[in-house]
Amino acid sequence: MGVGEQKCDALMGGYYIRKYEDKDYEAARAIFSDGIRHFALVGARHALSCPQTHLLLLGAFLLAYVASASVLFSLGVVSALLVLGWNRAKAIWLDYVRDALQEDMRDIRGTYLERKDCCFWVVEHGEEVVGTVAVTHPEEPSWWGRALELKRMSVKEEHRGRGISKALTRTVIRFAQERGYKEVVLGTSMVQHVAQRLYESMGFRRVQVLSPSLLFKLLQFYVYIYSYEIPESH
């Protein structure tokens, strides 16, 4: 049985991993979008809870009070900033979804199935697609030829907690190993705690901590880069 047709773990009765087919297009895009949009709220809560945000709001309140001598006006300014900040924090995640849907997820077959050493899998339960994962070449040049990158991992909420993500991760590792690569790398945000625990339990190591922009750095929001070293075959 080939890598793209493997049956999931025996504990996951009725779930199968197979290669992406064109009929899966809308389902795969929807699963990815829904999975990321969940973290838009989590990310927004993080942005509003960090100390820098609290200091900014306090400063805005004091400036507004000095200018107006009105507590109500000053509270209104703070409330407006909270709304603006909440919407902007969510927009960062939604922009990420939009960009992905217009780039690699717009042409899944061309991006992942028609390029050497790339692939895209879906998880099927009955006739329903309930999960996805992809593997491609890393953006970081230092990993070219040595590592493949795990991307677009997502599982429908009602099917989580059944080992699907672990099975998908194993599928990617096996795919990379069969093609002679030494590592599998991936990126995940600091608020995706379940994903971090999963990868670390499977032997991934955190090798980099990145802040994609100055705004992210000010809000102490980081992206973690993980690496899994594939054991030598004997």
Q: Which two tokens stand for residue 120?
A: 């895209």
Cβ–Cβ < 8 Å for 36, 96 = yes
**Amino acid identity, position 21:** E
CA-CA distance, 175 to 233, in Å (whole number)?
13
pLDDT at site 136: 98
Q: Which two tokens stand for residue 152?
A: 């677009």
pLDDT at site 202: 97
User: How many Å is the Cα radius of gyration of the chain?
Assistant: 21
pLDDT at site 215: 65
Position of tokens 């306090």?
58
CA-CA distance, 218 to 172, in Å (whole number)?
34
Cβ–Cβ < 8 Å for 82, 48 = yes
Q: pLDDT (tens digit, 9 = 90+) per residue, 47-74?
A: 777 787 888 888 988 999 899 999 999 9
Which DSSP string corresponds to 178-195? Answer: HTT-SEEEEEEETT-HHH
Domains and CATH numbers, the chain: 3-23+110-229 (3.40.630.30), 39-100 (no CATH)
Q: Which residues of the chain have pLDDT under 70?
A: 1-12, 40, 213-219, 233-234
